[in-house]
Structure formats: structure tokens, C-alpha cells
Chain A
Amino acid sequence: MRAAGRPLSRTLTRALPVTPAVVLLVLFLAGPIAYCAYIAFTDLQLTGQAESSFIGFENFRTAFKDKAFLNAVWLTLVFTVLSSLLGQNTLGLALAALMQRASKPVRTLVGGIVITAWVLPEVVAGFLLYAFFRREGTLNAILAWLHLPSQNWLFTLPILAVSFANVWRGTAFSMLVYSAALNEIPKEITEAAEMDGAGGWRRMWHITLPMIRRSIGTNLMLNTLQTLSVFGLIWVMTRGGPGNRSQTLPLFMYEQAFQKSMIGYGTAVALLLLVVGSLFSVVYMRLLRTEV
């Protein structure tokens, strides 16, 4: 609250340093978002910029009748549930929990490996997992060694392959969030439960998980948001194919806008993605509410 009598000029002077950030954000972030909301309702095309006209909700009506769009929505859902919810989140928690008990050298080594996968540039991660899942790749070599049937993963189960790739790349984040959360649980509590004879799983379920539930919420939110916008990883591994069997919404949006030149339609899809992202953001902010 501005105290009564404090001159306006002082408030303005104090706000001055914020200006560069605000200008940058308005021009390059808010501007495109507003523009997005506008061209989503036009039939703008890549060629012939001159005449685009306002067509109301036509793009959205087209989308919900478009089999390829519905396919992309479904694949995005599968990709998010498999890689973010089940994969990164669960594996990250498991790793963090095991690390609490492991010996220090093992903890350092494993942490280093998992974090390296996370720090690698997205495209490099894509190539590494492309090589891993290819017909001639490492996974099939291991399966053959174990006398198990091999297959062309990127062809038969492309969405599963890219989901695993995203787990490989993103688990470190969850692991770090959960490690920090588990470190904050007072030792006395777990020790008391142990004395009372509660087994490992029961301690996890009744004591640990309830105590870190805010971290779980935050982590799920951020993982999901990150996973919704994955483009490079899938692009490098499969280009969304074969056919469109690993084409999630970002790849669908790109294809419509640039390979089919339908900027208006591609943007309408982008706007839907943005709205879903915003909803997640709002939930996330409510989780953080007390801290701002």
C-alpha cells in the first residue's frame, strides 16, 4: 500500500528499474499471445498474407471434426500420462526415496548419470534415444542377448518410445524436487514410525507421502506443463510418424501451420494448448499461494 502523502513521483522512480523487463515481456510475450488469440479466429495462410478474414469459431469447429486433431489430442494425453504422471513422477520419487538410504558413492554416481540426461540439449537427447530404439539399436541388441523377440520400436510403438525418451530426459527434475522434500522430513518422525513397527511401504503411504503432498502437486503440475510442450525430442526421433502415430499437439500444430500453410488453423490449435497450459498454471499458483 502506498502510504498517504507519499509522492507519486517517488513510486514512479522506484518502479523505473522494472521497465526494461516489462517492455520485453509486453512486446515479445504478451504481444504474441494477443496476436495468437486474434489469428486463431482468422483463415490466415502462409502464402498470400494480404487477405485473411475473420471467420469466428470456424477453426475450432474444423478441429473438433478433424480426425487428425482428435488423434493428436489422444496421443498428447497418452504421452503426458505415460511419461509425466507415471514415468517421471513415480520414477523420480522412487529414486529420491532409494537415495535416502543408499551409500554415498552410489548416490553420487546415480545422481550424476540421471542429471546428465536432463542437462543434455533436447536434440542430443533425441538422437541418443533414437539410436537406442532403432531396429539396429541398443535395446534390440539387449533383447536378442536375452533371447527375447526384438522389434522395430519406432515403427510398432512410436508413442511408447517417445514417452520413454521423455522419462529418460525428465526424471532428474522430479528426483531433485523429491530429494529436497524428503530431506525436510524430520528424522524423528520416520524413526518413531519404525519403532512402532510400520514397514517400509506403510511408512511411505501413511507418513512420507502425506508430508510431501505439496511437493507432489507442484511437481506434477510442472512436469505436465513441460511435457505438454515437448517438440524437439519427438521431432528428432520420429517427426511425429510413422503416419501420425506419435504426432502430439505441438507437432500437429507445426504441421498444419507450416507444412500445410494453415497458419490460422495451426494457431487455433496453439491457442487450445495455451488455454490448457494456463489452467495448469492457475492450479500451480494456488498450490504456491502462500508464498507470494
Chain B
Amino acid sequence: MPSRRAHRRVAADAGLLVVAAAFVLPLAWVLLSAVDPHADLRVRVPDGLTLGNFDAVLTPDVTFTPLLNSLVLCGSGTLLTVACAALAAYPLSRFRSRFNRPFLLTILFATCLPITAIMVPVYALFVRVNLIDTMQGTILFFAASQLPFAVWLMKNFMDGVPRELEEAAWTDGASAFQSLTRIVLPLMGPGVAVVTVFSFVMMWGNFFVPFMLLLSPDQMPASVSINDFFGNRGTVVYGQLAAFSVVYSTPVILLYVVVAGRVGSGFALGGAVKG
């Protein structure tokens, strides 16, 4: 038996490596092109190493302003989502009420709605109420669009914190808000981290929402401004596009690695969506 098992492991390894080779090619292109002085569209070993592409894109106009815009949009949106989700999850997790079930079902339903489909009416609505092309409007919409999933995740994580720990605090006269912020949230640190990182990563990569709701170029986040490499500047400098892609993608990859390392690479997805 052992030899057969070893044989099977080699076969599985080989199969996985073949698939991985196909997956790695586009990633290799962006990494190699970013340091290639003469990058084009195919994967190849650079004929010389350069940081010139990074030098060229790391300017306020091309990189810093869009990244700062992304940070303001996604940071504020995430804070708002996580705060609202934590508050909403508390009574849902701790108190029994006949409203809990319908509320959670509505939340779950909203989690699944294709947000893309409502962007045209959101645009029309934002024009009417003067929220179009404003950071605060976009932040509020971002927060609302991530909120259903955030509430759902947060409630599931909160259910995992035993009630007994709070009951002691209640007898000492702590309010519900105090026991939420001082006892429950610290105890579900990894859960809060997952909700925060997940919301942030989703917003950071989102293209359609800012593309629709923001108009002036100086407010655009990186997800939209990256298209300028194609449009207005004549021929595309692929090395610079690659360098910008690396700079723009690095934060979310790092965040993922940090959270996955601490919570387990299932990213709590298993717990959130398992059926």
C-alpha cells in the first residue's frame, strides 16, 4: 500500500503543478514586465533589470493621488461597514426576538443581489440628490453594498463568543454597548479582522462603483485611473502599466496574507458560505 500511496501523491503533485503553471503565466508577466526596460505583451526573461518603470509611475499624478483616493474611499467605507455591522450583529446574536429571522433572511438575500445591476439607477438617483461625483456619496454606497455580507459574517462570528463571559459583566452593571466593545469584540478579534479585510479588499478592487459614481479625474481611485494607461497617453507603455499594477495590488495581497496566516487560509469562507 505505501508505494501505491506515494505513487498517487506524485500523480496529484504533477497534476497540480500543470494547472499552477497555467495560472502563474499572467502573474509572471506582470512581475517580469515591471522590471523589464523593454516590456511587451509576452512573458519573457527581461533583457536587463530596471527600476525605471517604478520611477516613472511613482509620481503624485499617476500613483500617489489615485492610491490616496482609494485609501480614503475604501478605508472610510470599511470603517463604516464594520462599525454598523458590529452594532447590528450584537442584538441579532444576543437577544431573541421575532424580528431576528426575517431580518437575517433579508440580509442574506441582499448579500446575493448583483450590485452591478443597480448601478444605473444609483447613478440616476445620485444625480437627483446631488451626490454624484462626491467622495462621501461613493463611500456611503460602498459601505451599504458590503454591509449585508459584513452583518452576516459578524453575526456568525459573534455567535461563537460564549454568553457566560458577558453575564458577569452584566451583573456588574455594564451596559450592552460596554459589553460589546470591551468583551465581545476583543474576544472575536480574528472575526473582526476577517470582516474588515474582506470589506476592504472587495472595495479596493471594485471598478464599477467609482467608475459610475465619480466623474472628476482628481477624485478617481486606482481601480479607475489605471485605465489611463490605455486611453490618453498614446502608445501603451506596458512596463509602466505592469509596475503600477504591482504597486496597486500589493496592499490587498499583503492584507490577505496577514489575515490568512492568522485565521487559516479558508479565510473563514468555509464558515461563512458552507451549505
Could you list which residues of chain A lie within 8 angstroms of chain B, going by C-beta atoms? 1-2, 11, 14-15, 17-18, 20-22, 24-25, 27-29, 31-33, 35-36, 39, 44, 49, 91, 94-95, 98-103, 106-107, 109-111, 113-117, 119-125, 127-129, 131-132, 134, 136-138, 140-141, 168, 173, 176-177, 179-181, 214-215, 217-219, 221-222, 225, 228-232, 235-236, 250, 253-254, 257, 263, 266-267, 270-271, 273-274, 277-278, 280-282, 284-285, 287-288, 291-292
Would you call B267 and A129 a contact (CB within 8 A)? Answer: no
At the interface, yes or no: B182 with Cβ under 8 Å from chain A?
no
Choose the segment among B45-53, B117-125, B160-168, B186-194 that binds chain A (4+ C-beta atoms closer than 8 Å).
Answer: B117-125
From known contacts A24-B144, A121-B248, infer whether A113 and B27 are also in contact, taking CB-CB under 8 Å: yes
User: Bound complex: CA of A23 vs CA of B144, how far in Å?
Assistant: 9
Would you call A21 and B151 a contact (CB within 8 A)? Answer: yes
At the interface, yes or no: B223 with Cβ under 8 Å from chain A?
yes
Residue among A98, A179, A231, A263 making CB contact with B208, cutoff 8 Å: A231
* Binary contact readout B92-129 vs A (1 if CB under 8 angstroms, 0 otherwise): 10011111010111001111111111111111110110
Q: List residues 21-36 of chain B with CB under 8 A from any CB of chain A.
A: 23-27, 29-30, 33
Would you call A120 and B17 a contact (CB within 8 A)? Answer: no
Please give me the residue from chain A that is nearest to B254 by CB atom: A119
For chain B, what secondary structure do more than half of its interface residues adopt (helix, strand, loop), or is it mixed? helix
Residue among B24, B41, B85 making CB contact with A21, cutoff 8 Å: B85
Would you call A274 and B205 a contact (CB within 8 A)? Answer: no
Q: Give the residue among A136, A180, A253, A287 with the most B Cβ atoms within 10 A.
A: A180
Would you call A122 and B206 a contact (CB within 8 A)? Answer: yes
Would you call B113 and A278 a contact (CB within 8 A)? Answer: yes
Chain B residues within 8 Å of A49, by CB: 127-128
Q: Give the residue among B96, B112, B206, B241 with the most A Cβ atoms within 10 A.
A: B112
User: Bound complex: CA of A280 vs CA of B43, how far in Å?
Assistant: 40
From known contacts A31-B125, A106-B13, infer whether A24 and B20 are also in contact, taking CB-CB under 8 Å: no
Chain B residues within 8 Å of A106, by CB: 12-13, 16-17
Residue among B25, B27, B151, B176 making CB contact with A14, cutoff 8 Å: B176
User: Bound complex: CA of A177 vs CA of B143, how far in Å?
Assistant: 26
Would you call B98 and A120 a contact (CB within 8 A)? Answer: no
For chain A, what secondary structure do more than half of its interface residues adopt (helix, strand, loop), or is it mixed? helix
Would you call B117 and A218 a contact (CB within 8 A)? Answer: no
Chain B residues within 8 Å of A21, by CB: 84-85, 87-88, 147, 151
Residue among A31, A107, A179, A228 making CB contact with B114, cutoff 8 Å: A228
Return B245 CB to nearest CB of chain A, in Å: 5
Give 29 pairs: A residue, B residue, CB < 8 Å, sorted on A.
A14-B176, A15-B91, A18-B87, A20-B87, A28-B144, A29-B144, A36-B117, A39-B124, A95-B16, A95-B19, A101-B9, A102-B9, A110-B17, A113-B27, A114-B23, A116-B253, A131-B29, A138-B26, A168-B26, A181-B270, A228-B114, A232-B211, A236-B227, A254-B120, A257-B120, A263-B120, A270-B117, A282-B109, A285-B112
Please give me the residue from chain A that is nearest to B124 by CB atom: A263
Residue among B27, B104, B226, B256 making CB contact with A123, cutoff 8 Å: B226
Would you call A277 and B19 a contact (CB within 8 A)? Answer: no
Would you call B274 and A122 a contact (CB within 8 A)? Answer: no
Would you call B204 and A121 a contact (CB within 8 A)? Answer: yes
Top 8 closest pairs, chain A to chain B, by CB: A180-B270, A218-B275, A28-B144, A121-B205, A232-B207, A229-B114, A281-B112, A229-B116
Would you call B121 and A270 a contact (CB within 8 A)? Answer: yes
Return B25 CB to nearest CB of chain A, in Å: 6
From known contacts A18-B103, A33-B118, A35-B121, infer whether A120 and B97 are also in contact, taking CB-CB under 8 Å: no
Would you call A274 and B41 a contact (CB within 8 A)? Answer: no
Chain B residues within 8 Å of A257, by CB: 120, 123
At the interface, yes or no: B269 with Cβ under 8 Å from chain A?
yes
Please give me the residue from chain A that is nearest to B252 by CB atom: A119
Return B186 CB to nearest CB of chain A, in Å: 17
User: Bound complex: CA of A129 vs CA of B241, how far in Å?
Assistant: 13
Chain A residues within 8 Å of B256, by CB: 115, 119
At the interface, yes or no: B140 with Cβ under 8 Å from chain A?
yes
Chain B residues within 8 Å of A218, by CB: 273-275
Would you call A102 and B12 a contact (CB within 8 A)? Answer: yes
Return A15 CB to nearest CB of chain B, in Å: 6
Chain B residues within 8 Å of A101, by CB: 8-9, 12
From known contacts A113-B20, A116-B253, A123-B207, infer whether A287 and B12 are also in contact, taking CB-CB under 8 Å: no
Supplied contacts A98-B12, A257-B120, 19 more A-B pairs, CB within 8 Å: A14-B95, A17-B91, A17-B180, A20-B83, A20-B88, A24-B84, A24-B143, A29-B144, A33-B113, A103-B13, A119-B256, A120-B249, A138-B29, A140-B42, A141-B44, A215-B274, A229-B116, A273-B114, A274-B114
